[in-house]
Amino acid sequence: MSTTALVGTGHRPTIVLVGHGMVGQRFLEALAERGLTATHRVVVLCEEPRPAYDRVQLTSYFSGTTPDELSMTDAEFITEHGIDLRLGDPAETVDREARTVTARSGLVIAYDTLVLATGSYPFVPPVPGKDAEGCFVYRTIEDLLAIEAYAKSRATTGAVVGGGLLGLEAAGALKGLGLTSHIVEFAPRLMPVQVDAGGGAALLRTIEDMGLTVHTGTGTQEIVTGDDGAVTGMKLSDGSELATDLVVFSAGVRPRDQLARDCGLPVGERGGIAVDAQCRTEDPHVFAIGECALAADGRVYGLVAPGYEMAETAAATIASADSSFTGADLSTKLKLLGVDVASFGDAHGATAGCLDVVYADSRSGTYKKLVIGRDGELLGGILVGDADAYGTLRALTGSVPPVSPEQLVLPAGGGGGVALGPSALPDSAVICSCHNVTKGAIRGAVTEHSCTTLPEVKKCTKAGTGCGSCVKVLGQLVNDELTASGVEVDHGLCGCFTQTREELYEIVLALRITSYRSLLDRYGREGARGGDGCEVCKPTVGSIIASLAPTIGANGYVLDGEQSALQDTNDHFLANLQKNGSYSIVPRIPGGEITPEKLIVIGEVARDFGLYTKITGGQRIDLFGARVEQLPLIWTRLVDAGFESGHAYGKSLRTVKSCVGQSWCRYGVQDSVRMAIDLELRYRGLRSPHKLKSAVSGCARECAEAQSKDFGIIATANGWNLYVGGNGGATPRHADLLAQDLSDAELVRLIDRFLMFYIRTADRLERTSVWLERIPGGLDHIRDVVVHDSLGICEELESLMTAHVANYRDEWTETINDPEKLARFVSFVNAPDTPDPVVGFVPERDQIKPDLPLLTIGHRPLEGSAQR
């Protein structure tokens, strides 16, 4: 192989960075901030085929985040600072005597300063069969692409070896790909480094409730393969066997220090390139930062925050500034499989004489433990299921909190708990551990640097630009400081209105305003009046007017006149837009109860129009693949058969699930099916700030999963228990008990009040779960209002619901009976008879799926689903 030398020009020294991950990119930014990219030649050798990306958020790829969206740099930054970034060309050898690095391509680069940021590699246990087809690691975007392709082509069951941070994320990814998923962890609990036995138990219950199977206290002895050499199973150390056709190893990482070993640099006994407090190796011309480095305190740090601090230390030292890395905060806050998990400080209570304060609720999967010193000092803690207080508690570590530890772990608003805000923190408290930004620095950004918005403060201080776990506390601090400085904080809905959504609701209701134009012209900001509004306020006001239509005398039909222009994408065609431009149809099936005749009609429609058919999680049937011009034809047949819109496209009631209840089930104590049908027919079409889901269980066995719904009902021997504020999704939350042992009439009355109070006071796109936690007083306040009528508004709330029920009209029935409304259902206005040529399908499992072009990213084809 021929080689080419890249040498300095004699007037600019050369810095060579080996590795371009998150820490490597932060090092480049630190060089740029100090002006070193102007005075030095900077060359980056990157092994991966893409620039630095957010590895912390890697799993979000499976929920639709594209690799480009994960990127942490852009071509403009690289070009602006004259950085020579060489992708897919890693360093292979270092000649310290000649001060050169040789890349895989044969390129030889002379350096004045060499910075090793080679990160870590996944540890794969040395078990037989570990290299078989179907075995993967979970580290890079390329790994994820390979796992996705294999899962789609030939796997139905997946197993993850390792129950740590990445292991749980990998298991969630496999489940998201449709695989039956297992987790195998050698330790007696999940996440053994971060949580204790109690936290592990809470996490285990929640994860098993999600349908994943967990095997703790056992290791992997062998990967079993078939005749074709592909994975067919695993043998475990407890003697059991696990059938699986895909294995992901996520059993920890090891420092990538081979380059340093080969050139004679000292490494630790268990790996890691030995560096001093300035992140310099034994060779004064060579630095090491991030996961490949063994810090002066004898640790290899596997978190991004210490890596960033190392990167800044190395850049400062190269710039001849005083800086040192003497250790870092190992606190972490993550969301694993939708579950909040956090640990901070002395989480496991290693300090002599410390005490534990513990709150555990196995029903909701919540576990909180604080480690307290004898003098009352907060030493650390563990939070599972509810980590909202993480930012404040971590910042209070090392001090005596202003309230008792018991008040910090008990639920706020009940049992003596308090929600301690960031205002209680001292200025020295570190708010952003990724960039070591204190509360004082954040306050200074407002008072000294005239920052007036959260984005400005983030840009000024870098706070909130790392893992993002501090953003909530950061926003509160910014608003508090602006208020204290006499600056009026703008809580307006958007740039068009100074009012909040709740205030606009009250204006529309009190003044009987029936059009968006009238509201904007009378109450919009001065510069917005007479304008067209924005994509925030138009659907928000449209929803308010639709919610109040019967009371204020407006036409609540979403496709009438001005209302049509206010709607979100799905509401424009009363159907859910899918990723290939086709639409899906969801007829309402109250309570999940359906006659054979109606099932036959759905089957015939799906057959005649060639639609993909899927049973949903809400006990309904979803029909996919309809072109826009087919929607009226399909709905004509469905309406004729007695179906109506299921509102799967709207911010409204979706469904009320039910079990079979006492009519069939030997455990049932109430008629859950009848109640579910009654409730769904009562609240159908109710427009709200966000979607609404409900369920009714006929006994305490909870087969309908009512406690994961916005309002859920569970039967008792004495009536019904009403739960509110639950949801599934990316941030699951168990609902809270609002009232118990209610009669049918009492139950309906309280739900009426609860829903209308939510619609009245919630913010735009705010689920009931978030609203319940945000509203001052929380559940206790809501109970006072809707149960005890503390505000004296319950009669009005009931009246609003009565008007809605009395004036309900099915949107699709109105649409197919109005030629003007039908005219909009075309792909091309100027060629109404021409179908959209982009909408295509291919066969799969005796049905269809979208035919999408492949999107090429790097050197691999990526299915178009990642464009969502």
Residues belonging to the binding site are: 659, 665, 699, 703
Residue 344: exposed, middle, or buried by beta-carbon count in 10 A (0-12, 13-18, 19+)? buried
CA dihedral 420, 421, 426, 427 (to 10 degrees): 160
Binding residues for siroheme, as ranges, are 703
Q: Are 166 and 250 in contact (CB under 8 A)?
A: yes
Q: Residue 185: name the closest of 134, 252, 126 by CA.
A: 252
Residue 39 parent element (H or E): helix 36-39
Tokens at residue 628, please? 């826009």
Q: Tell me the three-class secondary structure of 484-538, residue by residue.
A: HCCCCCCCCCCCCCCCCHHHHHHHHHHHCCCCHHHHHHHHCCCCCCCCCCCCCHH
Q: Residue 119: name the closest of 289, 280, 261, 286 by CA.
A: 289
Tokens at residue 742, please? 């209610």
Q: Are 656 and 706 in contact (CB under 8 A)?
A: no
Q: Are 672 and 654 in contact (CB under 8 A)?
A: no
Residue 159 parent element (H or E): strand 157-161
Exposure on the CB side of residue 544, measured as CA atoms within 13 A: 27
Listing DSSP states for 243-258 in one string gives E-S-EEE-S-EEE--H
Q: Are 368 and 381 in contact (CB under 8 A)?
A: yes
Query: CA distances (Å), 361 to each of 383, 553, 673, in order?
Result: 12, 47, 30
Binding residues for [4Fe-4S] cluster, as ranges, are 659, 665, 699, 703
Tokens at residue 672, please? 């859950």
Q: Are 287 and 281 in contact (CB under 8 A)?
A: yes
Q: Are strands 860-862 and 437-438 parallel, antiparallel or unpaired?
A: unpaired
Token pair 């790829």 is at which residue?
61
Query: Given its phi and psi angles, is residue 84 left (phi above 0), alpha (psi -120 to 50 degrees) or beta?
Result: beta
Q: Are 434 and 465 in contact (CB under 8 A)?
A: yes
